[in-house]
Amino acid sequence: MAMQELWKNKLRTFLSLFGITIGIFCIIGVLATVGSLERNIQNEVKSLGTNTIYLDKWDYSAGGGPDYPWWRYVNRPVPKYDEMKQIAERTPDALYVAFRIKAVDEVQYGSNTLSNINLYGISEDFENIQPIEIINGRYVSDAEFDRGSNSVVVGITIAEKLFGTADVAIGKEISTRGKKLQIIGVIKKQGKQMIGGWDFDQSIIIPYKFARNLMNELKADAVIIIQGRENITSKVLKDELTGTVRAIHKLTPTKEQDFALNDINDFSDAISSAFVSLNIGGWAIAGLSLIVGMFGVANIMFVSVRERTSQIGLKKAIGAKSYVILAEFLLESAFLCIIGGLIGLTLVFLLTQILTSLLDFPVYVSANNMVLAIVVCIIVGIVAGFIPARQAARMDPVVAIRSK
């Protein structure tokens, strides 16, 4: 009966459910986009290493506070390769310890030159902390690390721009900063990253002992990366490393730290907190359109009750209970909102397909969001239709039958 009533007044039904459609489209669209964005950024953060601490002279979260002078960071000592070995020996809870230096420069092959290429000089354990998937050739061997070989692996973007295709890159020699590098492997495509990350597509991985001939280690953004054992939390690892590094730097108990221990998990927590605020803002904005749609549904239900007053009186006269009349109109109101919600979900699905094709990460509607949309529609339908339904349920049958 509810379906028949809605179908008899197609234009009125469409105009009524259009507000609900826009409301659900806004809410689920915001949740889907923000949720997909958060998932992508969290994956990028996790790519920096799980249960991992970055030892650097810089505090990535500005943990020193606004009153901590920047020149103190500048004057801090740069992490050194020898300190990596000492940390590995003195920190039982450290599973892997790696050293990394970095420079950004040009790379040449014949007459082709690429700019803004990341040159990473790394130690052996780097690949254990940050897995690198090779699609052509192989990764750097332990022997090549030990002797400081010029064997390198390159990002797929570099291989394609220099050689046309990654398949022919293996064995080729490229040059940078006056040194020859022999390509032994090509890294699988990673795609663009929103927060920076390693950007392996435009990077060259070089054994540290060779890379130190290419760059000044004191000016090469050196960091020591420590990954804890599986049963050790990053907080416990950080506390242990604090004591270890203070001992290595020979700091007395009264001296402040001259280093920073940056926990990747802290970044993940900060991102989650930021996206909670974004979701609340999205709900607030989208909720306004949903409220407008709710008033539209309530208005059309009042009209529907008025048009069917005599029918209501007749039903009550032949024995229909008040709760039956109430349920009938609430069902009609909820059904109207569910139809609007389904149309809204369809529009959101189309939006996700467009955004996925335009952006470098997938945007999707989760099952939880779809269930949430239906639940919201039912609640909105019940709230919007309750007063008109209650009015219908409380009608006097004699008065209702006489009405025109």
- The DSSP result for 359-403, as a single string, is SSS-----HHHHHHHHHHHHHHHHHHHHHHHHHHHT--HHHHHH-
Per-residue HEC secondary structure of 246-261 comes to HHHCCCCCCCCCCCEE
Instruction: Say which residue, 321 or 400, is predicted with more confidence.
Output: 321
- Would you state the pLDDT for residue 291? 81
Band (120; pLDDT cuts 50, 70, 90): very high
- Would you state the pLDDT for residue 244? 93
Opening angle at CA 289, ends 284 and 291, nearest 5: 85
- Would you state the pLDDT for residue 195? 58
Instruction: Say which residue, 69 or 154, is predicted with more confidence.
Output: 154
**What number of helices (H) and strands (E) belong to the chain?**
14, 10
Band (194; pLDDT cuts 50, 70, 90): low
Scored b (16 or more CB within 10 A) or e, 218-253 reads eebbbbbbbbbeeebebeebbebbeebbbeeeeeee
In one-letter notation, the amino acid at residue 366 is S
- Would you state the pLDDT for residue 293? 78
- Would you state the pLDDT for residue 46? 65
Span 20-29, pLDDT tens digits: 888 888 888 8
Q: Residues of the chain with pLDDT > 70: what percent? A: 90
Where do we find the tokens 């803002």? 281
- Would you state the pLDDT for residue 126? 93
- What's the predicted TM-score (pTM) here? 0.68
Instruction: Say which residue, 390 or 151, is predicted with more confidence.
Output: 151
Band (138; pLDDT cuts 50, 70, 90): very high
Instruction: Say which residue, 319 or 46, is predicted with more confidence.
Output: 319
- Would you state the pLDDT for residue 45? 65
- Would you state the pLDDT for residue 99? 95
Q: Mean pLDDT, to the nearest integer, of 364-393?
A: 85
Is pLDDT above 60 for 267? yes
If one counts every other C-beta atom within 10 angstroms of the C-beta of residue 66, the result is 5
